[in-house]
């Protein structure tokens, strides 16, 4: 990951020098709605999480810029259901990633569209299962924390749109889709599927 960051910094410096533009850096944060595809379970719900990190923006032309980010992203899934005898259950799977999207931004006045590849590294994972019934009114929860059986490297893509306020503040919405399965084995290839809503601030500019 450290080598990746060094390579990204060098790429930004070359892009900025070639175009005679100053590279701008900033911060961003937001919320995410996550689930996993290819997981056929009744009662599937979006899991709400957070995302936050750093971004940079290097103009390649008047309307096009290279826009990489380094983000902490919460992903996973959630589902719940019920059965006879007052039986209820819920399951929440939380996975924390360090994501590195490298995007191209097309700027049209104050609006922008962005797209590009993304690499992610799984930092941690935790699952919580909760069950209750009429005979056991007090919910019983079981929690485990392990990345065993999970693929550490996640590769995917990002597409999104946004709006810039006075060249500094920005608001955006994007979709983050996984290409590789989250499991390290091949029986069931569940993929991350995440909608993100973010606000950011770029230093410099007018």
Write the DSSP string, 58-100.
EESSSSEEEEEEEEEEEEEEEEEEEEGGGEEEEEEEEEEEEEE
Task: Check residues 95 and 88 and name the one with the higher pLDDT.
Answer: 95
Q: With cut-offs at 50, 70 and 90, classify the pLDDT of residue 41.
A: low
User: What are 90's strand-pairing partners?
Assistant: 80, 130
CATH label, 2-202, candidates 2.40.50, 2.40.160, 3.10.20, 3.30.2010: 2.40.160
For the chain, the structural domain boundaries read: 2-202
pLDDT of residue 193: 93
Q: With cut-offs at 50, 70 and 90, classify the pLDDT of residue 2.
A: very low
* pLDDT higher than 50, residue 5: no
């Amino acid at each position: 990951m450290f080598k990746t960051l060094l390579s990204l910094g060098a790429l930004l410096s070359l892009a900025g020098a070639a175009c005679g533009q100053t590279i701008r850096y900033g911060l961003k944060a937001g919320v995410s709605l996550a689930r996993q595809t290819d997981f056929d379970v009744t009662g599937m719900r979006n899991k709400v999480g957070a995302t936050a990190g750093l971004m940079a923006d290097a103009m390649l032309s008047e309307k096009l810029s290279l826009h990489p980010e380094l983000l902490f992203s919460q992903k996973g899934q959630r589902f719940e259901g019920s059965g006879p005898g007052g039986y209820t259950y819920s399951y929440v799977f939380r996975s924390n990633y360090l994501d590195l999207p490298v995007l191209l931004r097309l700027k049209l006045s104050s609006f922008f569209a962005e797209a590009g590849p993304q690499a992610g590294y799984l930092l941690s994972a935790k699952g919580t299962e909760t069950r209750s019934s009429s005979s056991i009114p007090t919910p019983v929860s079981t929690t485990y924390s392990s990345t065993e059986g999970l693929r550490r490297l996640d590769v995917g893509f990002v597409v999104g749109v946004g709006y810039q306020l006075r060249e500094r503040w920005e608001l955006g919405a994007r979709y983050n889709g996984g290409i590789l399965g989250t499991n390290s084995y091949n029986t069931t290839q569940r993929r991350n599927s995440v909608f993100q809503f973010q606000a950011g601030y770029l230093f410099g500019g007018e």
